[in-house]
Amino acid sequence: RPPASSRPNRRIVPTHRTSHRKSYDYASPFPLVGRNQHQLQRPPLAAGPAGTRAGMANASSISRSLRRSLAPDALHRLLLQRSRAFVTAECHRPVVLHKRGPDILHDPWFNRGTAFSMTERDRLGLRGLLPPSVVSSQQQIDRFMGDLKRLEQNARDGPSDTYQLAKWRILNRLHDRNETMYYKVLIDNIEEYAPIVYTPTVGAVCQNYSGLFRRPRGMYFSAEDRGEMMSMVYNWPADQVDMIVVTDGSRILGLGDLGVQGIGIAIGKLDLYVAAAGINPQRVLPVMIDVGTNNEKLLKDPLYLGLQEHRLEGEEYVEIIDEFMEAVFSRWPNVIVQFEDFQSKWAFRLLQRYRKTYRMFNDDVQGTAGVAIAGLLGAVRAQGRPMIDFPKQKIVVAGAGSAGIGVVNAASRTMARMLGNNEVAFESARSQFWIVDAHGLITEERVDIDPDARPFARRKSELTHQGLNEGASLIEVVKKVKPDVILGLSAVGGLFSKEVLEALKDSSSSRPAIFAMSNPTKNAECTPEEAFSIIGEKVVFSSGSPFDDVDLGDGKIGHSNQGNNMYLFPGIGLGTLLSGARIVSDGMLQAAAER
């Protein structure tokens, strides 16, 4: 290792192979960081204070008699001059670096983080281990200072948000230092810290990721990496990877397109794989596929760490995902890939494209459905009815995206199975669902109906009988249908308004159920306080992000349950891994939900 005085400015030369070492002698015109850039980034030089290594080295380079004969300020000037000459000379000598890839990123002597140039990333085995954007050291400092200052400001959710982010940061730092200890803390306190490493705090983390970014975790594949992915996967240090959670950042929780910052959700989900399913932390890999972002704010943000261009679409997009899948399965043929928070149009298409070939599943479509079915069956039991009554439940679903349609698809199949698994059973099961999206009730009269929603569009004949029309509002639907359950996967906070909840009082169920499943907390369709205060203690309540139970007085508690795919995906991954299943089938998810 070089002397302390010269560390930050040394040029970095990979010498992991002897052949490289030979060719990189000091005289060679080494094409590393451009020399100019290197000099521009050099901090001002000064003699180290007496007593430090740098100071001692320089002081001892002046003879004792000269030191005695000089006035203190003259001696100081001379020291300064000599130390400059020394450091400047040192700066021009390349560092002989015996490390590659993550080892460099974890070494504070050599790590430059996002300031590593693309050529350095290629030479040092770092490609894919950092977000794609290359920033200057000044930008790195700006990001750090912004983050430091943010602690003093109120973030999106008010003061408590800042506090949660601070907790996340402390946990994250522990993860950087000692992963075993991190997971022990998480496992022993899972109820307390799941809301920090996962929803809701992970939402704020993703929103602020470019500011919070310190050390990269996971891999980044960008549109610029086309044709390189097969070799890039070998930059990951683990020979065995069991679980990958991949996102393209296009729909992070209910927060929309967060681009490269969505990596936070993949990290959070994998934390739960380790803490809840006992997957070896050395065998998990969070992945971000950066194909740009359509978030105008991020496109203009100088600190944004992803590609600052609009999202790729169409075949170009699919080719990138194809290349990624081929690359990871070629290096780790037994890996399981969980797709997470892809916007709905791609969630369904990619699931259909890969599900029969690769060990993969889509958590938002399939994991959410499994958890919702488990909750719906629990609600039947809470009504004191036998499970076989499930196909009689009337369910209104607000939201027809990947999650809403995923739930309706899978829940109707569960009903149909209970009814005999034939065509009549499917038709009967279908008619138990009313889907309302941003344009109201979806019926077969809907123009440009989404093909995934079409099978569940209400038939014209049913509409007259029910007194409903195409596009009917959620309130109208709840009033007319008197559902047993209203289930929100709309990402619209407060959608289950006072009027909707009042209408639910007329439910035909003895214990109507409300599943306000949208995340994070602010996007919940209603709070448990609202539900219990309007409908009363008989309501069964569950939400995507955790809420406290409600004190109903007289020693009664209104239980606030959590309905989140986190109760399912770790088990799906673990089960697939242990069973050696070649694909993740619908049957596996149904079985998991029923268990």
Ligand X SMILES: NC(=O)C1=CN([C@@H]2O[C@H](COP(=O)(O)OP(=O)(O)OC[C@H]3O[C@@H](n4cnc5c(N)ncnc54)[C@H](O)[C@@H]3O)[C@@H](O)[C@H]2O)C=CC1
Could you give the residue numbers annotated as active site?
Answer: 198, 269
Instruction: Report the first-to-last Cα separation within the chain, whole angstroms.
Output: 57
Nearer to ligand X, 118 or 438 (CB): 438
Residues 399-418, mask of contacts with ligand X (x by CB under 6 A) = xxxxxx--------------
Sign of CA dihedral 174, 178, 183, 185: negative
If DSSP codes are grouped into helix, strand and coil, which group holds residue 16?
A: coil
User: Which residues are near ligand CC(=O)C(=O)O by CB under 6 A?
Assistant: 199, 253, 341, 363-364, 519, 544, 564-565
In the list 58, 222, 509, 519, the residue contacting ligand X (rule: CB under 6 A) is 519
| Interacting residue with ligand X among 260, 320, 337, 371 (CB under 6 A) | 371
Residue number, 120 or 341, with CB nearest to ligand CC(=O)C(=O)O = 341
Q: Using DSSP, state whether 541 is helix, strand or coil.
A: strand
Task: Please state, in angstroms and rounded to a whole number, the distance separating the CA atoms of residues 3 and 310.
Answer: 45
Q: Is 192 annotated as a binding residue?
A: no
Instruction: In angstroms, give the least distance from the CB of 204 to ligand CC(=O)C(=O)O.
Output: 14
Q: How far is the CB of 573 from ligand X (least distance, A)?
A: 15
CB 344 within 8 A of CB 401: yes
Fill in the per-residue mask, 242 to 271: x = in contact with ligand X (CB under 6 A), - = not in contact. ---------x-xx-----------------
Q: How far is CA 86 from CA 47, 51, 454, in A?
A: 10, 18, 74
564 is in an annotated binding site: yes
Question: What are the beta bridge partners of residue 336?
Answer: 243
Query: Residue of minimal CB distance from ligand X?
Result: 401
| Residue 421 annotated as lining a ligand binding site | no
Helix, strand or coil for residue 2? coil
d(CA 293, CA 306): 8
Contacts to ligand X from residues 336-365, by CB under 6 A: 344, 364
Handedness of CA 271, 273, 277, 279 (dihedral sign): negative
- Cβ proximity to Mg ion: between 341 and 530 the closer is 341
Quick one: 244 or 491, whose CB is closer to ligand X? 491
Q: Is 450 annotated as a binding residue?
A: no
- 178 annotated among ligand-binding-site residues: no
Largest CA distance in the chain: 108
Residue reference for tokens 């052949």: 19
Least separation in angstroms between CB 228 and ligand X: 30
Query: For binding to Mg ion (CB under 5 A), which residues are involved?
Result: 341, 364
Has 334 been labeled as part of a binding site?
A: no
Buried b (16+ CB within 10 A) or exposed e, 384-406: ebeeeebbebbbbbbbbbbbbbb
**Long-range pairs, 68-76, Cβ under 8 A, ≥24:** 76/47
CB 442 within 8 A of CB 453: yes
Q: Which residues are annotated as a binding site?
A: 251, 340-341, 364, 519, 564
List of residues contacting ligand X (CB under 6 A):
251, 253-254, 344, 364, 368, 371, 398-404, 436-438, 474, 489-492, 495, 517-519, 523, 544, 563-565
Binding residues for a divalent metal cation, by number, are 340-341, 364
